[in-house]
Chain A
Amino acid sequence: MLDTLLPILIAAALALAVIGAGRRVRLWRQGRPARVPLLKGLAAMPRRYLVDLHHVVGRDKVMSNTHVATAGGFVAAAALMILVHGLGLAEGVLGWLLLAASATMFVGSCFVARRRRNPPSRLSKGPWMRLPKSLMAFSLSVFAVTLPAVGLLPEDFGGWVVALVLSAVLVWGLGEMFFGMTWGGPMKHAFAGALHLAFHRRAERFGEGNRSTGLKALDLDDPEAPLGVETPSDFTWNQLLGFDACVQCGRCEAMCPAFAAGQPLNPKKLIQDMVVGMAGGSDAAYAGSPYPGQPVGEHQGSAHGPIVAREGKALVDAETLWSCTTCRACVEECPMMIEHVDAIVDMRRFLTLEHGNTPNKGAEVLDNLIATDNPGGFDPGARMHWAADLELPLMADLQQVDVLLWLGDGAYDMRNQRTLRSLVKVLRAADVDFAVLGNEERDSGDVARRLGDEATFQSLAKRNIATLAKYRFQRIVTCDPHSFHVLGNEYGELGGHYEVRHHSTYIAELYEAGRLHFKPWKGGGVTYHDPCYLGRYNGEYEAPRNVLKALGIEVAEMERSGFRSRCCGGGGGAPITDIPGERRIPDMRMKDVGETGAELVAVGCPQCTAMLEGVVDATAEVRDIAELVANALTEAPEASAGAAQQSSNRPQAVEVA
């Protein structure tokens, strides 16, 4: 009886899956067109899955092995089952292989079940709670129906009762695995995820050591091109596909600083809301952690309806989007390679460019950027006032130098001026041929872009590129990772290609070249805070640590450091939009610092400095790496004194406080 039933069941499941797939593809295709090399992407997919994706999944060894067993077992079992039971090719080794595959899958599903017994809060519940059972049902029933096929059991073992029960279990398993995969069950992630990897909007991020973190530019010259994303269908189709790939593992939620601070953002929920919007409906069925302070079930949307309502509620509240610090912790953690930050900025673009609704000080900052080229609204002619006594060489005078020192808007900030002075002292001690743009410099456009004002960003960027094109220099050095990122990764699309170094990288190079000499470190314990825009955005984790090592400092690492570093709360315009939460992000970060027992936290970013120094009753002082280096500078030892003297025709290092 099973012989006749099984092919029918399998064929039916496959047919339903194909219909579901068609419907799913139709949902994705509501999105805007995107130029993706389809065949090349499909060809690259296995490698992206096996190498890049498992590189992320492999951070959790148990889950990684569980997934290899379950997913690998399932893929093999499904393929073999079609051959063995669907087409009746039971002879020989195939049946045995099917037994092995389903057994492997069963073992994997046991681990899945174990994890679901006391799931961490970041995991979504709901349908996901039945997944281990479904996996077991599938693997067990396939195993059982294969036993007679390989001859381990007689053909009509157990009679029709057993056959019926087995069929019922198999129907459950097939339903979850094939039907559910394309009709929106938990297994959807396998189908959507595979295609998402193939048609990813940032193909360049795959491959060893590659990263792609710059935001993509809007086409402002085309008056018909939409300014950002208003409705779910305004995303490109492969973005929608990416949202659909989410497995709701909640790793993003666990890493998100805004979620931890109790601000109304949960990256996982946001992605799920986009899925809800794409298909139309309410978020009531969502079974994970909600946005802090916002109950589930109050929001709804549709593919062509607004995501954020001008008044009242739609799919997502504006505060959710403005809570993001663009720290990329979610993107870094996402095993499905979903680009949360792109999506958030796309939606912010619409809010700023079409609604004109940048919250709190956002509008003022953008107006300042338009009118004065700096977010504080200061006189552009006063940009160099802090350095009146330093006699900094200007590009306009020199025309050609090795290093163009990009000061950033920190030039207006009294705290950051100390860092800049230290950096100048270090560059002079190392006898670097450098100059600054002076009053010709403008804001890099980082804040404008993260606040969604692409027009102001492009205006600033184009003028900066025109200014930079007047001069010749080898590289740009800056102590602001935000400028670093924008100049290095985002100006390229607008025609500005530069070699940009963060000052920690450059100082490390200078030290290795023997051009800097340090006194031994005499202070207390030190920890290092990785700025998001230096670390996750640009992969620079080593150079700052090397500099600290060269200073004789042994870094007491925080639990969350390196690629898992927790944001200071200062990125993405978050201090400007200032969405209230239950806690402040910098307070949490300073607590991380306190747990290491360090008396000093070294940073490499003006935003981080400002945010961490704003913490009341902090246990550690905040110093920029440049300040630590400048304080440790000493004369070259005797042996190399001659070399130092040769080049003493330029001004000596100026003593700065």
Chain B
Amino acid sequence: MRPESHHNGSLAVTVLVSVGRHPLTGRGRRADQDARAVELARSLTSAEVELLHAGRLDEGSEAALRGYLGMGFDSLSLLEQPVGADVLPAVAESLEAAGPQLVIAGERAEQGEGSGLLPYLLAERLGWPLVSGLAAVEDVTEGVATLLQALPRGQRRRLQVRLPAIVTVDAAAPAPRQSAYGPARRGRLEVQAAAVMDDADLAQWQAQPARKRPKRLKIVKAASARDRFKAAAAKAEGGGGQVLTDVAPEEGAAAIFKLLKEEGVLR
């Protein structure tokens, strides 16, 4: 039997995109994770992809949002929201109205609180399942999506989730394609009015540029003076390693084998 989604044409996908911020220069840009989300959506065959952004339209954000259009989109829906608003109601209402099968978002925003809560709140409000840390969507058949979730160190886990669902991606998802200037310039930003709810909590918090976190000191709690002396006089780590010269290959191999064992990389 043909997949259900193919009967009525295609899989409706909405990607939530935000305005990113370059970590060094602070310039607006495509948010890295959101761009990966768009790339993931683009890689789905027979998917009809919509871009949705909630926020203010100004010169800085427009350049960043056009970055998404440059990935090959004609338009992007923009829910007009003032700075410091809670975008949850606006986005949720928009999704309820549009009724996509799959919503893809980046894990966290690069500006504002950046708590990564929005997808969870949306999932809770819409009553949809949520899967985080996606690496790929393998297949969508009969309303069930087979997903690959990224585990640390390149490992993957296969999951199945019933649609409609929300999935989030992070740096393990495929790298986004280049944003081309031409489509970015031509694409339309379709501004829609939406309900506004102030984020009262956020206004109360004090925000300041991130301080460098203090490096944790190695505190040696030793019972005896000798142990304390040894700890203080111990060789600093990384100050030149062990060099084996004039050894038989077997000896060298044994030393490497020991290190690999200690590090636990041999399976």
Query: Which residues of A line the B interface, CB within 8 A?
Result: 223, 227, 352-358, 362-363, 366-367, 370-373, 377-380, 453, 455
Contact = CB atoms under 8 A, between A and B. Distances in A.
B22 A356 contact: no
B178 interface: yes
A370 B29 CA distance: 9
A354 B69 CA distance: 12
Given A356-B72, A366-B178, A372 B22 contact: yes
Interface in B13-59: 22, 24-25, 27, 29
B180 A371 contact: no
Contact of B25 (A352, A363, A371): A371
A151 B4 CA distance: 93
A371 B29 contact: yes
A356 B177 contact: yes
Which 5 interchain pairs have the tightest Cβ spacing? A356-B180, A363-B178, A356-B178, A354-B182, A371-B22
A353 B181 contact: yes
A227 B182 contact: yes
Contacts of A357: 178, 180
23 contacts: A352-B178, A353-B181, A354-B180, A354-B181, A354-B183, A356-B71, A356-B72, A356-B178, A356-B179, A356-B183, A357-B180, A358-B178, A362-B178, A363-B177, A366-B178, A367-B29, A370-B29, A371-B22, A371-B24, A371-B29, A377-B24, A379-B25, A453-B181
Interface in B62-89: 70-72
A372 B70 CA distance: 19
Contacts of A352: 178, 180-181
A227 B180 CA distance: 11
B185 to A, nearest CB: 7
Given A355-B180, A371-B29, A223 B185 contact: yes
B186 interface: yes
Interface string B233-265: 000000000000000000000000000000000
- The interface centre, meaning the residue of A357, A370, A371, A378 with most chain B CB atoms within 10 A of its CB, is A371
Interface of B: 22, 24-25, 27, 29, 70-72, 177-183, 185-186
Among B70, B71, B180, chain A packs the most CB atoms within 10 A around the CB of B180
B38 to A, nearest CB: 12
Nearest to B177: A356
Contacts of A354: 180-183
Instruction: Find the residue from B22, B24, B179 having the highest chain A CB count within 10 A.
Output: B24
Contact residues of B: prevailing secondary structure: loop
A372 B29 CA distance: 11
A372 B24 contact: yes
Nearest to B28: A371
B84 to A, nearest CB: 25
Nearest to B179: A356
Contacts of A366: 178
Nearest to A379: B24
Given A223-B186, A356-B72, A370-B29, A380 B24 contact: yes
B217 to A, nearest CB: 28
A482 B72 CA distance: 32
B70 A356 contact: yes
A380 B178 contact: no
Contacts of A355: 180
Nearest to A380: B25
- Residue from A362, A363, A373 having most chain B Cβ neighbours under 10 A: A363
Given A227-B182, A352-B178, A372-B24, 13 more contacts: A223-B186, A352-B181, A356-B70, A357-B178, A357-B180, A362-B178, A370-B27, A370-B29, A371-B24, A371-B27, A379-B24, A379-B25, A380-B24
Contact of B181 (A367, A371, A455): A455
A225 to B, nearest CB: 11
A518 B181 CA distance: 51
Contacts of B25: 371-373, 379-380
A231 to B, nearest CB: 15
B178 A227 contact: no
B248 to A, nearest CB: 29
Contacts of A370: 27, 29
Contacts of B178: 352, 356-358, 362-363, 366-367
B183 to A, nearest CB: 7
Nearest to A226: B182
Nearest to A354: B182
B18 to A, nearest CB: 16
Contacts of A367: 29, 178
A499 B186 CA distance: 38
Nearest to A355: B180
Contacts of A356: 70-72, 177-181, 183
Interface centre among A353, A377, A379 (most CB of B within 10 A): A353
Contacts of A362: 178
A353 B27 contact: no
A370 B180 CA distance: 13
Contacts of B182: 227, 353-354
Nearest to A358: B178
A357 B71 CA distance: 10
Given A371-B24, A372-B24, A380-B24, A353 B180 contact: yes
Contacts of A453: 181
Contacts of A377: 24
A366 B180 CA distance: 11
Contacts of B71: 356
A372 B22 CA distance: 8
A366 B184 CA distance: 15
A367 B27 CA distance: 12
Contacts of B27: 370-371
A17 B181 CA distance: 45
Nearest to A227: B182
